[in-house]
Amino acid sequence: MFSKILIANRGEIAVRIIKTCRKMGIKTVLVYSDADAGSLACEMADETIHIGPSPAAQSYLIQDKIVDAVRQSGAEAVHPGFGFLSENPVFARRLEAEGITFIGPNPHAIEAMGDKITSKKFAAEAGVSTVPGHMGLIESTEEAVKIANEIGYPVMIKASAGGGGKGIRVAHSDADMAEGFAAVKAEALTAFGDDRVFLEKFIVNPRHIEIQVLGDKHGNIVSLFDRECSIQRRNQKVIEEAPSPLLDDATRKAMGDQAIALARAVNYDSAGTVEFVAGQDRSFYFLEMNTRLQVEHPVTELITGVDLVEQMIRSAAGETMGFKQEDLSINGWAIESRIYAEDPYRGFLPSIGRLVRYEQPEEGDQGDYTVRNDSGVREGDEISMFYDPMIAKLCSWGETRDAAVTGMARALEDTHLSGVGHNVPFLSAVMDQERFKSGQLSTSYIKDEFPDGFRGLEPSEEQKDIFITVAAAMNEVLAEQAGDPSERTDWTVLIGREGHEVSLSYDEAEDLVISLDDRDLTLSEIDWRPGMAQFRAVLDDEPFTAEVKRAPDGFDIRHRAAKARVRVLTPSTAAMYQRLPEKVAADTSKLVLSPMPGLVVDIPVTVGQEVKSGETVAIIEAMKMQNILKAEHDGVVKAVGAKAGDPVAADDVLVEFA
């Protein structure tokens, strides 16, 4: 076994690898860029080596720097994590030639499966079901349009070297194909240094299901069952679970057998994932194979009890796998929510900056569910523009899917972040939706359920009770702190403009009793004091956590995906509030605003130009993604506020219409 491993990665996955190495008694060396100096991973590693500036192309992607760091540290092996050099066969061969062990599959497997065009040919030869498409290289937009018509729209445009949801577009027409083909080639060249593109049929209302495989260097290969990854946004997975609620035992076995057959065809010898697109009828087709550890691997670990990082290390060290297929079984259900620094209320646009507050849920056994939180940042850390904006992978496990969903909803309640936009309210909304609870998923779920974007959810009657009781309790605490002599017990609580008459008292246990609409609500085990961002309590035997903030005239309260301004007022003051006119939002209909901080790639319009609805007016690059902004209505350009190459901030005016 190795005595020292170098981790050629950063953030959450570096922390994850360090934890397993510690458990195995292996020392760790971490390379880091300027942006990652002082990171949590740097703090946890036994040794650290600086390898350059913040951009990955000048640090984490430079093979010479990684090899030099191995030599300097005396490490015997390199774990690449995911992303960066993890699926680079040239890097794997370089390490092999240098006498350094690569903790991952052999270079032949990476080369065969890492290229999506080649992998589909291997899959077909191995008897794996494949999606209709064109696997050859496409040289021009005209050729792409011609092939798309032969396949039949809708068609997916994909970068051959793609990954992480980048370099993918769906075309529904010749116009979409012409625009999308160029955009995918540009993204692929920027993100992967390889602009090859291929086309395949887009399966309508599909599900994304993948099989985790694991092999050793002695020919042993097993399936660790399936994961459902259908909840996606812009082809980026957001919520994953294991196992899939779609599959029956026969389909699960068939997918597992095909995944093993494909892995065996390339002598696979590490952790890898065979991804399938599945129809609602349980038909399935090979999508691609990821020759690395997946972001969503924790849900598989939670239902199987297998540490995949440990098994990768043991396989790389030449050990024989310590279990067989018949030794593996599915235990319970697990869900993973990816917490990102992005603003769901602004189209999920990346949000960078300092993580001013970060309160995490308690990990481990919580009674009816178990919590695991894989995070690479701490309170006070900077969310950098140079890398993926992931904050954490929050996981829940339960004996049943219902228990896992309930556990995830509670764990999200117990997560508090401030300083950057984040998607916790959105993740909470999904957990509360009946469609998600029923398991009726597809890759279009987000678009189907939030066609006009995410605006939160209206509070349920139970959540209104939470808002009322929380506001009343906080008002009591603040009045007591201020020495309020009135000792008033009757109030009107406004949720927005909706009024509720309440009366407060205390029972024998000194719990707060709120009389509301001919019923009594009991609030107990209150954990809040002024300045705290979370209010924890038990309402009629149901524990909950709400996010709270004092406002000039009340409280801003959020519970899961519902939020409101809540005021505790005397009846006469409440009556006056209800008569006040509502504030009208500023009219920005004639402005095209930058949705995020980024770099202007192009603004293909000029002053005086007539623009039709749907035409491209600006292209902004951020987080390695090109964001195409289109006109929402016909108009004439009055002013252009930026040019190609300009850096822009969120809400900067790019184009103004007359």
- Least-confidence region, from 76-85, 379-388, 456-465, 618-627: 618-627
- Cross-strand bridge partners of residue 556: 549, 565
More confident residue, 335 or 139: 335
pLDDT of residue 585: 65
Q: Measuring CA to CA, which residue among 314, 315, 417 is closest to residue 359?
A: 417
CA distances from 244 to 209, 325, 402 (A): 7, 19, 13
CA angle 285, 291, 295 (to 5 degrees): 90
- The 8-class DSSP code of residue 34 comes to G
pLDDT of residue 625: 67
User: The pTM is what?
Assistant: 0.83
pLDDT of residue 623: 62
- Asked if 65 and 31 count as a contact pair (C-beta separation under 8 A), the reply is yes
Name the most confidently modeled range: 163-177, 246-260, 447-461, 598-612.
246-260
pLDDT of residue 486: 62
Catalytic residues, which ones?
Answer: 288
Burial of 246 (0-12, 13-18, 19+ CB in 10 A): buried
pLDDT of residue 551: 92
- pLDDT tens-digit map of 68-111: 999 999 999 999 999 999 999 999 999 999 999 999 999 999 99
- pLDDT tens-digit map of 368-390: 999 999 999 999 999 988 898 89
pLDDT of residue 484: 67
HSE-CB at 33 with a 13 A cutoff on CA atoms is 18
Alpha-carbon 255 to chain mean position: 25
Residue 636 pLDDT exceeds 70: yes
Residue 139 pLDDT exceeds 70: yes
pLDDT of residue 347: 77
Omega of the bond prior to 543 within 30 degrees of 0, cis? no
- Average pLDDT (468-483) is 90
- Average pLDDT (35-63) is 96
Determine what percent of the chain is predicted with pLDDT higher than 70. 98
pLDDT of residue 425: 97
More confident residue, 172 or 579: 172
- pLDDT tens-digit map of 223-263: 999 999 999 987 889 999 999 999 999 999 999 999 999 99
- pLDDT tens-digit map of 273-304: 999 999 999 989 999 999 999 999 999 999 99
pLDDT of residue 191: 82
pLDDT of residue 487: 76
Residue 348 pLDDT exceeds 90: no
- Least-confidence region, from 46-60, 227-241, 348-362, 524-538: 348-362
Rounded-to-5 percentages of helix, strand, coil across the chain: 30, 35, 35
What is the rounded CA–CA span in Å between residue 260 and residue 27? 33
What is the rounded CA–CA span in Å between residue 22 and residue 45? 9
Residue 589's pLDDT band (cuts 50, 70, 90): confident
pLDDT of residue 624: 60
- pLDDT tens-digit map of 525-565: 999 999 999 999 999 999 999 999 999 889 999 999 999 99
pLDDT of residue 385: 80
Sheet holding 27-33, edge to edge: 47-52, 27-33, 4-7, 77-79, 101-102
**Mean pLDDT, the chain, whole residue set:** 93
- Asked if 432 and 560 count as a contact pair (C-beta separation under 8 A), the reply is yes
More confident residue, 466 or 486: 466
What is the rounded CA–CA span in Å between residue 196 and residue 624? 17
CA distances from 617 to 139, 146, 167, 178, 551 (A): 27, 27, 21, 17, 39
